[in-house]
């Protein structure tokens, strides 16, 4: 042990003596993750809340005492298995083993990945390579999206996309000097500029798009964000004729347009057609195409869904998420743009005002050139990677690329193809059960599985494509204890499912009515182990029994 004295030495000793206990806890939890209840009990949550200190103590608890307090009093009151195989709320991935170990290592090293000091640390280059490997996973040429960075999540990535779009559209506005920079010069005051000067056109924009539009100064009201008509036979696809009419009219007015295309509708898991056509129109009329693929961007790894994701490379900016289907730990968002200059214009200060102490390494580039085989076109060498603080929101940021890199390398394309395919097939088996049950109504059947208002069987639908992807949207039927005619019945059904603590689902609304939503996104979800549990809970509740989880045992009571 290093020669040190006093309190630091005591804390080092306590760290070393406490670390095995933490490792044992993590090991036990990882081993039992498939059997852990999804939620904490109400009493555990109450105990955690009552244990919180009312004020900061004068004397600290020390490393050992604090760690014991966390394990014994805090952790029992939080989500017990959000990264477990039966947590189907929202769109939540798990944490692959390689990613979990890498995240522990990342915290241990605690590097702030903000400035490219390539002769002193490779961390920025590691992040860049991880982003390039994501493009490889999606079969997108690296050279397409030379502007790349990691963010806290899809919301931050959408902020970057709309910020880049804003500056690009102002820089190319017919009402302003060529190259005008909103980021550096603020809102323009040209009397000929339309009001509003930039609008957003979309079908069903995620709330994060509204938040991003508000944050970057575009506004988020219906004057700014417009819902466009969909195709008559596909509500998730733009009516390209109406879109072209609108784009032509806005171009005549000299108004900037951002078209937001969502890959994967988050409530239903459905995918629209025609991304390539939308991209061509945006290019023709000078609109910026932002593709929000946080939910469905990786669905195309399952070959039958590749048609819906194949044109992501035509976007001006692209949002993806690592902590969803890639199953890396929170937080991990991914942003890509083909307009690198727009990204740096927004986030990089003029050279005269750039902080000198945050300058990148300035040695000769030749000294950092790697040796070996030629890299794929679009690969960025270590010395050429822009400092992350100049291409993103954060100045301080953890080494979140390490878990991403580890997970990608551990699984490869085949491993991720397997996760996506297994998740979708699992969801479709649950959907088939719901569709055939007299106690439930399936709300998101795929077009081929729908026959008017009649229920189809797995044989009718071919079984595999009864729903579009990994989302099951449903509600109780009139023959169930949770009929659609009863206000709040879907909320009651959601609570009854979650109260079993055997699985977790989300309450939502679809077409103005309550619904229950299952999203299968975890690498651990296993048909042989988990399907009977899920169908058992749904079957019992549908028949009017109510599940109560207690002491690790599911107890079913009559409702």
Per residue in 132-175, pLDDT (tens digit) is: 999 999 999 999 999 999 999 999 999 999 999 999 999 999 99
- Alpha helices by DSSP H, 84-153: 97-109, 123-137
Clarify whether residues 382 and 454 are in a common domain. no
- C-alpha span between 410 and 403 (Å, rounded): 10
Clarify whether residues 342 and 487 are in a common domain. no
User: Are the C-beta atoms of residues 289 and 279 closer than 8 Å to each other?
Assistant: yes
pLDDT bracket for residue 556 (50, 70, 90) = very low
* CB contact burial 108-137 (16+ within 10 A = b; e otherwise): eeeeebbbbebeebebbbbbbbbbbbbbeb
Clarify whether residues 438 and 388 are in a common domain. no
User: Are the C-beta atoms of residues 302 and 420 closer than 8 Å to each other?
Assistant: yes
Q: What is the pLDDT of residue 350?
A: 79
Find the distance separating the first CA and the last CA of the chain, reported in whole Å. 62
pLDDT bracket for residue 47 (50, 70, 90) = very high
Judge whether residue 517 has pLDDT over 60: yes
Judge whether residue 364 has pLDDT over 80: no
Question: Does 226 map to a domain?
Answer: yes
Question: Does 57 map to a domain?
Answer: no
Give me the sheet containing 198-202, strands edge to edge. 147-151, 333-337, 317-321, 288-292, 256-262, 198-202, 225-227
Question: Does 56 map to a domain?
Answer: no
Q: What is the pLDDT of residue 8?
A: 87
Give which of 152, 187, 170 is closest to 258, Cα–Cα: 170
- C-alpha span between 444 and 428 (Å, rounded): 11
Give which of 482, 408, 423 is closest to 87, Cα–Cα: 423
- C-alpha span between 339 and 333 (Å, rounded): 19
Contacts of 443 (CB under 8 A, 6+ apart): 268, 473, 474, 475, 510, 515
- C-alpha span between 475 and 483 (Å, rounded): 8
Using the structure block, give the residue that is written with the tokens 């990089």: 348
Question: Does 18 map to a domain?
Answer: no
Environment class of 192 (CB within 10 Å of its CB; exposed 0-12, middle 13-18, buried 19+): exposed
Clarify whether residues 383 and 460 are in a common domain. no
What are the φ/ψ torsions at residue 148 (nearest 5 degrees)? Answer: -145, 145
Record the tokens describing residue 275, joined without a space.
């991304």
pLDDT bracket for residue 368 (50, 70, 90) = very low
Higher pLDDT: 286 or 357? It is 286
Question: Does 294 map to a domain?
Answer: yes
Rounded to the nearest integer, the mean pLDDT of the chain is 91
Question: Does 42 map to a domain?
Answer: no
Using the structure block, give the residue that is written with the tokens 């994501």: 134
Clarify whether residues 337 and 443 are in a common domain. no
Clarify whether residues 291 and 436 are in a common domain. no
Distance of CA 11 to the CA centre of its chain: 37
Q: What is the pLDDT of residue 451?
A: 41
- Which CATH number characterizes residue 550's domain? 3.90.1150.10
Clarify whether residues 384 and 496 are in a common domain. no
Clarify whether residues 384 and 455 are in a common domain. no
Q: What is the pLDDT of residue 448?
A: 64
Record the tokens describing residue 331, joined without a space.
């937080």
Give which of 137, 114, 125, 150 is closest to 370, Cα–Cα: 125
Judge whether residue 555 has pLDDT over 70: no
Q: What is the pLDDT of residue 330?
A: 95
Clarify whether residues 141 and 285 are in a common domain. yes
Judge whether residue 320 has pLDDT over 50: yes
- C-alpha span between 478 and 476 (Å, rounded): 7
Judge whether residue 298 has pLDDT over 90: yes
Clarify whether residues 343 and 441 are in a common domain. no
Q: What is the pLDDT of residue 462?
A: 42
Name the packing angle between helices 154-171 and 340-347 (round to 10°): 100
Q: With DSSP H G I counted as helix, E B as strand and the rest as coil, what are the percentages for the chain, rounded to 5?
A: 45, 15, 40
Domain count, the chain: 2
Question: Does 91 map to a domain?
Answer: no
pLDDT bracket for residue 375 (50, 70, 90) = confident
pLDDT bracket for residue 358 (50, 70, 90) = confident
pLDDT bracket for residue 356 (50, 70, 90) = confident
Mean pLDDT computed over 171-186: 95
- pLDDT per residue as tens digits for the range 387-405: 999 999 999 999 999 999 9
- C-alpha span between 265 and 261 (Å, rounded): 10
- pLDDT per residue as tens digits for the range 51-91: 999 999 999 999 999 999 999 999 999 999 999 999 999 99
pLDDT bracket for residue 10 (50, 70, 90) = confident
Record the tokens describing residue 386, joined without a space.
């822009």
Distance of CA 348 to the CA centre of its chain: 26
Q: How far is CA 249 from CA 114, 291, 426, in A?
A: 43, 22, 46
Clarify whether residues 239 and 314 are in a common domain. yes
Question: Does 429 map to a domain?
Answer: yes
Q: What is the pLDDT of residue 359?
A: 83
Give the containing element (helix H, strand E) for 431. helix 401-436
Instruction: List the domain range (segments joined by +) for residue 519.
Output: 418-558
Q: What is the pLDDT of residue 398?
A: 96
Clarify whether residues 472 and 389 are in a common domain. no
User: Are the C-beta atoms of residues 141 and 378 closer than 8 Å to each other?
Assistant: yes
- Which CATH number characterizes residue 205's domain? 3.40.640.10
């Amino acid at each position: 042990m290093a020669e040190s004295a006093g309190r630091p030495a005591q804390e080092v000793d306590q760290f070393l003596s406490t670390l095995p206990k933490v490792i044992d806890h993590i090991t036990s939890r990882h081993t039992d993750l498939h059997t852990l209840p999804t939620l904490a009990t109400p009493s555990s949550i109450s105990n955690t809340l009552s244990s919180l200190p009312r004020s900061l103590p004068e004397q600290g608890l020390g490393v050992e005492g604090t760690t014991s307090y966390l394990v014994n009093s805090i952790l029992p009151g939080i989500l017990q298995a959000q990264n477990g195989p039966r947590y189907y709320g929202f769109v939540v991935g798990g944490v692959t083993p390689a990613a979990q170990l890498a995240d522990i290592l990342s915290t241990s090293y605690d590097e702030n990945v903000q400035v490219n000091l390539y002769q002193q640390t490779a961390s920025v280059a590691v992040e860049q390579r991880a982003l390039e490997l994501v493009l490889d996973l999606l079969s997108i040429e690296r050279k397409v999206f030379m502007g790349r960075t990691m963010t806290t999540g899809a919301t931050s990535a959408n902020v970057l996309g709309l910020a880049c779009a804003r500056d690009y559209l102002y820089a190319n506005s017919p009402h302003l000097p060529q190259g005008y920079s909103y980021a550096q010069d603020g809102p323009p005051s040209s009397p000929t500029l339309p009001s509003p000067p930039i609008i957003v056109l979309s079908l069903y924009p995620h709330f994060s798009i509204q938040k991003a539009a508000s944050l970057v100064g575009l506004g988020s009201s219906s004057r700014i964000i417009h819902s466009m008509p969909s195709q008559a036979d596909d509500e998730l696809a733009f009516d390209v004729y109406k879109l072209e009419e609108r784009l032509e009219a806005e171009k005549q007015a000299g108004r900037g347009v951002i078209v937001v295309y969502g890959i994967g509708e988050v409530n239903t898991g459905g995918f629209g057609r025609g991304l390539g056509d939308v991209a061509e129109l945006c290019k023709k009329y000078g609109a910026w195409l932002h593709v929000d693929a946080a939910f469905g961007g990786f669905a195309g790894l399952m070959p039958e869904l590749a048609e819906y994701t194949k044109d992501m490379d035509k976007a001006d900016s692209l949002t993806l998420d690592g902590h969803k289907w890639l199953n890396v730990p929170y937080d991990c968002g991914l942003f890509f743009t083909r307009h690198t200059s727009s990204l740096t214009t927004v986030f990089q200060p003029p050279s005269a005002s750039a902080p000198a102490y945050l300058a990148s390494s300035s040695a000769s580039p030749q000294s950092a050139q790697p040796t070996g085989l030629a890299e794929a076109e679009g690969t960025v060498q270590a010395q050429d990677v822009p400092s992350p603080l100049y291409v993103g929101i954060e100045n301080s940021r953890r080494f979140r690329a390490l878990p991403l890199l580890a997970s990608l390398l551990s699984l490869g394309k085949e491993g991720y193809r397997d996760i996506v395919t297994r998740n979708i097939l699992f969801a479709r088996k649950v959907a088939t059960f719901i569709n055939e049950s007299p106690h439930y109504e399936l709300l998101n059947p795929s077009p081929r599985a729908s026959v008017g208002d009649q229920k189809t069987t797995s044989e009718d639908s071919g079984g595999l494509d009864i729903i579009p992807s990994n989302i099951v949207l449903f509600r109780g039927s009139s023959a169930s204890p949770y009929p659609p005619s009863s206000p709040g019945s879907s909320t009651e059904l959601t609570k009854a499912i979650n109260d079993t603590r055997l699985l977790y689902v989300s309450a939502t609304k679809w077409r103005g009515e309550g619904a229950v939503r299952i999203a299968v996104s975890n690498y651990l979800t296993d048909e042989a182990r988990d399907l009977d549990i899920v169908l058992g809970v749904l079957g019992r509740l549908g028949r009017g029994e109510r599940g109560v989880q207690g002491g690790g045992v599911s107890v079913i009571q009559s409702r």
